[in-house]
Amino acid sequence: MENSSPCSAGDHVINKDTLCKENNKIGNLSSESIINSESDAVIIEDIVNVSGKDTQIVLTTNGVKLISPKDRINKKKEGKIGPFLEWRDVISASKDPKSTEQSHQWILNYIHHGSKSIVHHRCLKVHDKNGNSDKLITAIQKQCSKVVGRPKKLFILINPIGGACKGRQIYQKAAEPLFKLASVETHVVVTEKSKHALEIGETHDFSQYDGVVIVGGDGLYQEFLQGLTIQTQKKSGINYDDPNAELSKLNIPIGIIPAGTGNGLTYMINGIQHAETAVLNIIRGEQHRGQIFIVHSGSKFLCVSALAFGYGFFSDYVKRTEELRWMKKARYAYTFIGMLSKKKRFFQAELQYRLKLKANDSSGGNEQGEQQKSDWIIHKNETKNYNCIYSLQGELVDAGDHNIVDPYGSHVMLGAGTGCGHFALFKTMMYTVFGKKINSSSNLDLIDRVTDFKIKVLRDEQGGSERISGARAREIELEHLIDIDGEVIHLESLDMTVRVQPSLTLIYGVKKKQVTHKFQHD
Ligand SMILES: Nc1ncnc2c1ncn2[C@@H]1O[C@H](COP(=O)(O)OP(=O)(O)OP(=O)(O)O)[C@@H](O)[C@H]1O
């Protein structure tokens, strides 16, 4: 399926005509958008007509300014003009197909920043007055092509069976028209089987692409990321079976368009689960280095994790949901309710962890570039009985009454349940994801600033020839599973090391709480 494939018809199809109707006013310019013009160099300026008003349009090295006659009178003396739209938020400019001999019109497509991290595509109809529309369009297109990080060619990977099985439709409705508007060439591949994304990540040559876009859930992203991590290490000759090896960074940016069930990662990197926002953030081209977990089992590399690691309660939960896959989305709530009344499953383990040291903390660490980490700390738990050990990706940044969960950080919070109830475990996990502050309790230890942790499960072996009960056989099966980003993975060895690898990935996303200029007409 190449870029040219037609966008399926439907109520929510994005196209120029429908969107242009949404927004073509220039009144009510917000004072936030008035910016100082000092650092700008003017590229071209003209008088055009927007919403029936003569308006000065100025293209500068920083962006587009539209100056109404009122603005010019009120603000120019103070050296301030506006509103301002930075080039990163301009998608494209093109002739309006409805333009006639008598009325020359062109369209400016741009990104509107709404509240709570949401962004939308908007367009503005501009009426030419002086015959300069071609020059303005060419200049805008040239500046758009120079936006740092904006992709020109993308490899798109769609999971057709993720979430509600709408991967293809979500791509066609929310992404394809916007990529076309932004002149992004695409090569689309639809996965054909489980682990296909892993295979593609490990073997495909992405050198001719500016980025890869995953249209699916956290599971699909994890598979692709694992494949790409392996490919990158192999190319650099890194022995990734060695948990102490310094891994090569992945240099192809990855974007995620939510089409799965949980979609936790798209929430973390875009601040919201919203397909249009995810697409527009890819077009904006802002990229950040993200942290992931590298998991070893025994002396072997096991997997990467982009979102969550869980052992005990969470791996049991995911295993059960996989057994009930036929129930589709309902399996999550059904399993959750079922587990509330279930007896806790305990396992015996030794848990150790290392902490990111604060700048003024001189204890621990070693000489080989790991000065910022403490030595291994043994988790205090005399009975060694646990019912859950888990960690979620994201450094928790204190923001007063809440935390910002920063996927571009260098440490995580580790949860060690020593008998915590199932409901409380879920609640704590959800609170962490949504940045709510939460403290340790008597049976759930929450340890912040963790950079690595090790779990050694101490198995209660029952004499070699003795027959084991069905219940014990199920327990042994569960003991050999971990939850990685909502999928279960089999463990050969019950001796695990999990390391936070800061800055390993490159992600199309935004930093939360970032300040953006508004270009608002509504
Ligand atoms: N064509 C396919 N046929 C069968 N399985 C597939 C196919 N493509 C991908 N998969 C599998 O689908 C699984 C889940 O994918 P994905 O993460 O996209 O959706 P999800 O599980 O519904 O969402 P989330 O992980 O966000 O909860 C992955 O384990 C992957 O191996």
The per-residue pLDDT for range 11-50, each reduced to its tens digit, is 222 333 333 433 433 332 332 333 344 567 899 999 999 9
Pocket test for ligand 1, best of 157, 189, 220 (most atoms within 8 A of CB): 220
Which atom from ligand 1 is nearest to the alpha carbon of 198?
31
The per-residue pLDDT for range 335-353, each reduced to its tens digit, is 989 888 888 999 999 999 9
Q: Residue 74: what pLDDT?
A: 65
By alpha-carbon position, which residue is closest to atom 10 of ligand 1? 194
60-69, 245-254, 461-470: range with highest mean pLDDT: 245-254
Q: Residue 33: what pLDDT?
A: 34
Can you tell me the distance from the alpha carbon of 480 to that of 316, in angstroms, rounded to the nearest whole number?
10
Q: Please tell me the distance between residue 256's alpha carbon and the centre of ligand 1 in angstroms.
A: 14
By alpha-carbon position, which residue is closest to atom 3 of ligand 1? 193
Q: Please tell me the distance between residue 222's alpha carbon and the centre of ligand 1 in angstroms.
A: 10
By alpha-carbon position, which residue is closest to atom 11 of ligand 1? 194
3-class DSSP state of 490: strand
Q: Residue 449: what pLDDT?
A: 96
Q: Residue 27: what pLDDT?
A: 30
CA angle 439, 434, 160 (to 5 degrees): 135
Between 84 and 391, residue with greater pLDDT: 391
Q: Residue 467: what pLDDT?
A: 66
Judge if the beta carbon of residue 223 lies within 6 A of ligand 1: yes
Q: Are 335 and 498 in contact (CB under 8 A)?
A: no
By alpha-carbon position, which residue is closest to atom 5 of ligand 1? 194
Q: Residue 327: what pLDDT?
A: 83
Question: C-alpha 92: how far from its chain's center?
Answer: 24
Q: Residue 262: what pLDDT?
A: 84
> What average pLDDT does this structure show over 257-276?
93
Can you tell me the distance from the alpha carbon of 62 to that of 517, in angstroms, rounded to the nearest whole number?
12
Q: Residue 28: what pLDDT?
A: 29
CB contact set of 468 (below 8 Å; sequence gap of 6+): 462, 476
The per-residue pLDDT for range 442-499, each reduced to its tens digit, is 999 999 999 999 999 997 655 455 667 777 788 888 999 999 999 999 998 999 999 9
Judge if the beta carbon of residue 219 lies within 6 A of ligand 1: yes
The confidence band for 150, taking pLDDT boundaries of 50, 70 and 90, is very high
Q: Residue 371: what pLDDT?
A: 53
Give the rounded percent of residues in the chain with a pLDDT score beyond 70. 84
Judge if the beta carbon of residue 374 lies within 6 A of ligand 1: no
Q: Please tell me the distance between residue 487's alpha carbon and the centre of ligand 1 in angstroms.
A: 9
Q: Which residue has the tokens 């595509």?
A: 121
